[in-house]
Structure 1
C-alpha cells in the first residue's frame, strides 16, 4: 500500500530540511589539516598545503567543480583515457576515488587546457577543444563528447599550438593560436633556421597565428574562421584567465629563445639566459604586442627591436608603437597557468590578485635553471600594485637546478576550489597540492610575507651573477666546451633533454648511428616529427653551420662517446666533405 506523509509530518520534514540547508550555508565544512611538511612547499605565514593525490600521470591543467570534484588534463593518454577525475569522500582532503576517462587523440605536451564553464567541462588536445556536460553529483560525465573547436591548419605539431581556453562574462570563448618560430624566420626554405638570418617582414605567421581569437558563445564544430582576431603580436600562450574584476582577458606569454645561440656576437650567454621577458599582458581588443618584431626587456623596462629585424638589444625602432605588457617576468620561466583569485578563504590582499604557475626554464645554461614556483601579483582596482611575490616554492626539491631532470616536481596548473582553496598540479609525476589558509586573517601582513621575500634570493628565482653563477667556468676540453655553449641550453647539461620538447641524447641511434645524418643535422638543422627512444618530438633545431669543422667534429665525438653512447669519433675531414656537398647542392 502506498502511503503519503500526513501534513504535520510533511511540515516537520520541510522545516528540518530548511534548517539543515541554512546551517550548512552558514557553517561550511571545516578545512582539512595540512600535511606536516606542507607537501614539501614553502608558503607565506598562516598557509599550509596537503597532497591531494600522487602519481596520477603527468598532469597539465586542472579544474575543480562546485562540489569539490577535481578534473585533471593529462599530458599523455592512458589506455582508459586522457583525463582523470578525483573525489574525496571522507573530508580529509585526500582523493580516495580516482577515475580515468576521455578517449581522444592526444599530442603530448601540447595537451593543455581544462576549465569548467556553464555546466560543461572543457579540455583540449593540441588541435581540438572538447567539452562534456557535467551531471550534478556524478563524477565521470557520460554525456556525448562534443567538438567545440578544431585547428584545421596544415602545419606540423609544434608545441606553440596548445589550446587553453577562457570565457568572458558574456560566455564568449578566447583561444590562442601560437607560432612555431622564435621570430618568424623562414622555416620552410631554411628548416632549422640559420644564426643571423632575418625574420620575414611582414610576418606571414600573423595571419593565422601569433594572437588571440574570440569565438561566439555556445557554438560547436568551429574552426578559426568562425572567430575573430582579438589581439595580435603574441607568440605563445599556455597561461590565460579572464579577470572579472576589470572585465579583461589576461595572459602570460612565453618569450622567444636563443639570443646568444643565434646572435653570439650581439648577446652574451647571460643575456640569453635572463632575456627576453615572459610578458604579463592585459589583453585589449585590437592591440598589437609586438611579436615577432619586438620583445620586452624587463631589465630596461621597455620593448626593443628583435635582432632578426635589425635590433641589438637597445634599439627601439618600430617597437615604440607597440603595446606594452602590464609587467615583465624574467626570461624562460615558462608561465603555464594563470588564475585570478575570487575566494574568501585567503587574506583580503589576495582577493582579485593573480597567481602564476612557472613551470621552469629548460634553456638557461650555462646558468642554473630558473622558475619552478608559483608567483602572486597583487591587484587593486584592476591594476597590478607593486612587484610580483613568491607564493609557493620548493617544487623542484633541489637548488640550484642544473638540469630539468633534476627537478622532482614542476608546477603546471592552477584552480580554485569552491571553498577558496588553491589547487596546483605537477607535470612530472602527477601530484596535486591543495593550499589552505589556516591562520589569522586579521594579523596577516608583512611579517607573514618576509620569509617568501627572502626566497627571491634563491638560485631558482634571482637573476644569476654573470661570472659567479656560470656553471661552466674554467677550461674544458673543446668538445665539452662546444656542447655546454651551444647544445646544453636545450639538451641540458646531463644530455637528458626536456620531456615532450627536446629529445635526450642518451643511448640513441640518432647520436651513435649514422654519422652523416648526425653531421647534416648540425650543419643544416632539423624540423619535423621524429621519434627518439620511443617518444615523439616535433620542434625546430637551428642549424649550427656557423661552427667550424673542428668544433663540429669535437662536439659530435663528445656526444658519441658520452651519455651512454659508444661510437666512433667524427673527423673534421668528414664534416668538411659534407659541408662542401651541401653547399654544392
Structure 2
C-alpha cells in the first residue's frame, strides 16, 4: 500500500519517500491508544445508542466516509475499510487517538488498490498483518510497531480471476483464520436463486424455475480454504471447504469450539417472483438470514432449500418446486445455529474474548445487521447489533445488544435510517467498536457497571426498550402493511419486464416505444400508467411532442397489485420524475374498473 495521501481532522499529511515514513513513524509513536485500566469518558447520550444497563458508549469519529468493516490493533489504532477507493485517495483509513480521550484526532487515508463493485469489504488483523479485502483481491501488509500507515510491501495473497466478478452482487472477500496457517474466503453466488443469469439476469426466473443442478455451486456459493501466507493464489489453489451459502459478508473463527462461523444473507423477491405461493407479508419475513457453523463438507442447501425461522426447519425453495411448507430434498442439508428474520442483512460476526464485559458475552457472538431493503410494503427491519448466546454450536434465541442507529421508529425506506450498523471489532482493553456505512461513524462501547451484578434485570429492561420497534418486531400481517409500492422491487421488476422496450434510462427506443422520463402519461394521474401496465396498450399515443405506435402486452395475469404499484412507483420517481408513489389498493381499484372480468 502506498504512503498516506491525505490526512483529515487536525492535520494534513503529505509525506512521500523513506524520510517521510521515518517522520510519520516518530510523530505517531506519541500516541498508541488508551491504557486498558482507564476507560475514557462516554458521551452524555452514549452517542445516541441504546444499550443494556452498565454499558456506555462514545463516538470515536463522526464521519470517516462510507465505512464497511473495521479492525483494531493491540495498541488501539483503528483501520476502517471504505466502500470505494475510486477517488485516488485510498480505500483504507487509519485512525488514532493520540491523547487518550477515546476520540480520533489522527485520521489518514491510504491504499493504492481499486475496488470493483460497491460491496467491497474486509479488513482483518492476523499474526501481525493487516489483511485488506476488495471484491477482487485479498491483500496484506505487515504492521510495524508505531506506524499507523504500513510502510511494508503490499502482498497480494489472493486474486479472484472470474471475469464477471464486478457484476456479482454477492461476492465479498471477508477473511477468517483458524490459527493453523489457513485462511477462509467466501465466494458468493452471482444469482439470487439459482437461475440462468446469462439469459435472464440476476433476478429473472422464467416460470419460477432454477437450474438443476446449479452450475454456480461449482465455483461460487461456498467457502474456500487457502494458505494464509502464500502470495499470488487464485481460487483453484484453494480447497472447497463448504457449499450452499449464497452471500457471506461476515466470517469468523470461533474460540468457543474452534470452528468457522458465518452470517449469511438469504434469497430475495419471494412475493415478486412467486405471488401465488408467498404473500407480501411472507416475503417480508422470509427466508431467514442465518448464522451458520461451517464445517468441512457442510452444505446449507442454496439454492435448492432455505431456512424458515418461523417453522424452524429447512424447506424446499420455490424455484425447485417448493410451496412454502414442503421439505423434500431440503432434509439433506445442514441446519444453522439460528435463523434471524428475513432481509435483516447480517454483515459482521464477532466472538468476544476480552475481560471488560460481563462473562456471558464470552459465550456467544455479536452480529451487526445492516438493515433490510426488501420488505416493502412492510417496514424495513434490522439496523441493530444483537448478541447470540451459543452452546454446543446451537442457539435458541438472540437478543438486542445495541439499538438507536436508525433514529426513527418506522423505516419505510432504507434511506430513512440515519445509520446502518456494519462492522464490529474488539479493542485491546475489551471495548467493542461498531462502524456504520452511511456516514462512517464509529462508536466505542464500554462496560462500566459491576460485572457480577449484570443479569436478567438488565436484559429484561433492554427487551422493554426495543421489542415494539417496527424494525425489530415481527410485523403483524395486514396491520403493519404500509401500503406503498417498493422502489427497490420496482427497479427489479422494471428491468425484468419493461427495460427491453423503454430502456434502462427510461428514454424509450426513439422509434416505437415512448420515453417514460418526463412523460405526461407518467407524471399526471396514475390511471393511464397503471392501466397500461395491467392491460397493455396499442395504437398511437403522443409523448413529449412525438407520436409513437408500438405494442405493449398486458401484465394483469403476471403481476399482482403490489408488483404493479412497485413498478409504477419506481417509474414515477426515476430519471428526473418527481411524482408520488402508487399504492397496491389504488392498483386494485383500477384493475377492477378496467378488467373486472379478469381478476388476478
Deviations 1:341-397 (A, max 9, x none): 0000000111132000000000100000000000001134x4345411100011011
Q: Which residue is equivalent to 1:9?
A: none
Contact 1:195-1:263 within 8 A present in 2 as well: no
Q: Which residue is equivalent to 2:296?
A: 285
Say which SS state the counterpart of residue 66 (structure 1) adopts.
coil
For 1:73-84, list aligned pairs within 5 A. Answer: 73-77=81-85, 78-84=87-93
Q: Which runs of 5+ in 2 are unaligned?
A: 1-34, 495-502, 517-531, 534-554, 580-600
Quick one: which of 364, 369, 389 aligns to 2:375? Answer: 364
CA shift, 1:518, in A, is 7.1
Mapped to 2, the partners of 1:417 and 1:121 lie a distance apart of: 15
Q: Which residue is equivalent to 1:510?
A: 505
Mapped to 2, the partners of 1:40 and 1:413 lie a distance apart of: 17
CA shift, 1:517, in A, is 8.5
Quick one: which of 142, 154, 158 aligns to 1:133? Answer: 142
Quick one: which of 85, 109, 112 aligns to 1:100? Answer: 109
Q: Which residue is equivalent to 2:457?
A: 447
CA shift, 1:450, in A, is 1.6
Q: Which residue is equivalent to 2:163?
A: 154
Contact 2:426-2:433 within 8 A present in 1 as well: yes
Contact 1:58-1:74 within 8 A present in 2 as well: yes
Contact 1:163-1:175 within 8 A present in 2 as well: yes
Distance 1:106 1:558, change over 3 A: closer
Quick one: which of 27, 30, 39 aligns to 1:31? Answer: 39
Mapped to 1, the partners of 2:121 and 2:565 lie a distance apart of: 39
Quick one: which of 252, 273, 296 aligns to 1:241? Answer: 252
Mapped to 2, the partners of 1:63 and 1:105 lie a distance apart of: 20
Mapped to 2, the partners of 1:555 and 1:512 lie a distance apart of: 19
The more displaced of 135-144 and 383-392 is 383-392
2:444 paired with 1:431: no
Distance 1:284 1:52, change over 3 A: same
CA shift, 1:559, in A, is 5.1
Q: Which residue is equivalent to 2:54?
A: 46
Q: Which residue is equivalent to 2:192?
A: 182
Q: Which residue is equivalent to 1:308?
A: 319
Say which SS state the counterpart of residue 387 (structure 2) adopts.
strand
Mapped to 2, the partners of 1:346 and 1:235 lie a distance apart of: 33
Contact 1:54-1:429 within 8 A present in 2 as well: yes
Contact 2:491-2:567 within 8 A present in 1 as well: no
Q: Which residue is equivalent to 2:413?
A: 403
Contact 1:58-1:76 within 8 A present in 2 as well: yes
CA shift, 1:553, in A, is 9.4
Q: Which residue is equivalent to 1:460?
A: 471
Q: Which runs of 5+ in 1 are unaligned?
A: 1-26, 473-480, 496-507, 524-543, 568-585
Q: Return the TM-score normalized by structure 2.
A: 0.78
Q: Return the TM-score normalized by structure 1.
A: 0.80
2:577 paired with 1:565: yes
Q: Which residue is equivalent to 1:343?
A: 354
Deviations 1:57-116 (A, max 9, x none): 000001000000000000011432100000001111001000110011112432111100
Contact 1:305-1:315 within 8 A present in 2 as well: yes
CA shift, 1:405, in A, is 0.7
CA shift, 1:183, in A, is 1.6
Say which SS state the counterpart of residue 273 (structure 1) adopts.
helix
Say which SS state the counterpart of residue 204 (structure 2) adopts.
coil
Distance 1:398 1:134, change over 3 A: same
Mapped to 2, the partners of 1:550 and 1:364 lie a distance apart of: 15
CA shift, 1:420, in A, is 0.5
Q: Which residue is equivalent to 1:63?
A: 71
The more displaced of 549-558 and 343-352 is 549-558
Contact 1:198-1:308 within 8 A present in 2 as well: yes
Mapped to 1, the partners of 2:566 and 2:339 lie a distance apart of: 36
Distance 1:205 1:89, change over 3 A: same
Mapped to 1, the partners of 2:68 and 2:59 lie a distance apart of: 16
CA shift, 1:143, in A, is 1.0
Q: Which residue is equivalent to 2:402?
A: 392
Say which SS state the counterpart of residue 510 (structure 1) adopts.
coil
Mapped to 1, the partners of 2:448 and 2:565 lie a distance apart of: 58
Say which SS state the counterpart of residue 189 (structure 1) adopts.
helix
CA shift, 1:187, in A, is 1.0
Which structure carries more relative contact order (alpha carbon 8 Å, separation 6+)? 1
Q: Which residue is equivalent to 2:363?
A: 352
Distance 1:419 1:188, change over 3 A: same
CA shift, 1:449, in A, is 1.2
Contact 1:178-1:209 within 8 A present in 2 as well: yes
Say which SS state the counterpart of residue 306 (structure 2) adopts.
strand
Distance 1:545 1:334, change over 3 A: farther
For 1:82-231, list aligned pairs within 5 A. Answer: 82-155=91-164, 156-191=166-201, 193-194=204-205, 196-231=207-242
CA shift, 1:158, in A, is 1.8
Deviations 1:437-469 (A, max 9, x none): 011111111111122212122111111001110
